[in-house]
Amino acid sequence: MADKTPRRLPSRKPSNEWKPGILEDGLGVIGFDKAFDDHFQINSDLIEQALAGGFHPCCASFPDKKQQPEAWGMRVDFLWKLWLYIKEDLTGYAAAHKVDSDGRHYCIVSPCLWSHGESTSTSSAAGAPPSRQLRQMRGDMHLVVQRYVMPWTRGFDAGLALVLNAGSIAWSRKCAAP
């Protein structure tokens, strides 16, 4: 049975002050707060229920869709919204880090104030072993998956597209309710 505890986090800033791509405290962006929900037009509180096939009859097929990657399509507008939401954070984080051939992250700013979340490891590039060939980090899809997709989908047992689609249906159905 789905957890009834609301998933949505309180926003750090009032929604009317938040703009897509603005860094939260310069450390990174967060998912599933009010600003996230408003930006993506989703309802985080009902995603789990929608993915379990509840909430609305149109969600009945979601449990089966979790096993069908071909059903995990993401609408272009969600992809664009994702880019707008993460671009400042992604480019800023990449500019402040180097990476080795094993994917370990090394900070090139001190002190490093970035939230490192899911990164393999973090330490000062100056303290990296001499054997490590460090290159400037790039804001590529590997970093997008590591920094945003994995943390945001943990606990849902579904990919980001399906999670956002479930949240969108939950938002639109709730908004359409009398």
Q: What is the DSSP string of 111-169?
A: S--S--TT-S-EEEGGGS-TT---EE----HHHHIIIIIHHHHTTTTS-HHHHHHHHHH
Say what the pLDDT of residue 170 is.
85
Say what the pLDDT of residue 25 is.
46
- Which of the residues in the chain have pLDDT under 70? 1-27, 118, 120-122, 173-178
Say what the pLDDT of residue 12 is.
47
Say what the pLDDT of residue 71 is.
84
Q: Is 66 helix (H, G, I), strand (E, B) or coil?
A: coil
Say what the pLDDT of residue 6 is.
52
- The model's pLDDT over 25-64, given as tens digits with 9 standing for 90+, comes to 446 888 999 999 999 999 999 999 999 998 788 889 999 9
Residue type at position 16 = N
Q: Is 29 helix (H, G, I), strand (E, B) or coil?
A: coil
> 92 phi and psi, to 5 degrees?
-65, -45
> 91 phi and psi, to 5 degrees?
-70, -35
Averaged confidence pLDDT in the chain: 82
Say what the pLDDT of residue 149 is.
94
Q: Report yes or no: 165 and 68 within 8 Å, Cβ to Cβ.
A: no
Instruction: Say if pTM beats, i.e. exceeds, 0.85.
Output: no
Say what the pLDDT of residue 131 is.
73
Pairing outcome for strands 105-107 and 122-124 = parallel
Say what the pLDDT of residue 15 is.
42
Exposed, middle or buried by CB within 10 Å (0-12, 13-18, 19+), for 22? Answer: middle
The Cα 166–Cα 103 span in angstroms is: 32
Say what the pLDDT of residue 62 is.
92
Q: What separation in angstroms does the CA of 170 have from each of 50, 57, 108, 173?
A: 7, 11, 42, 5
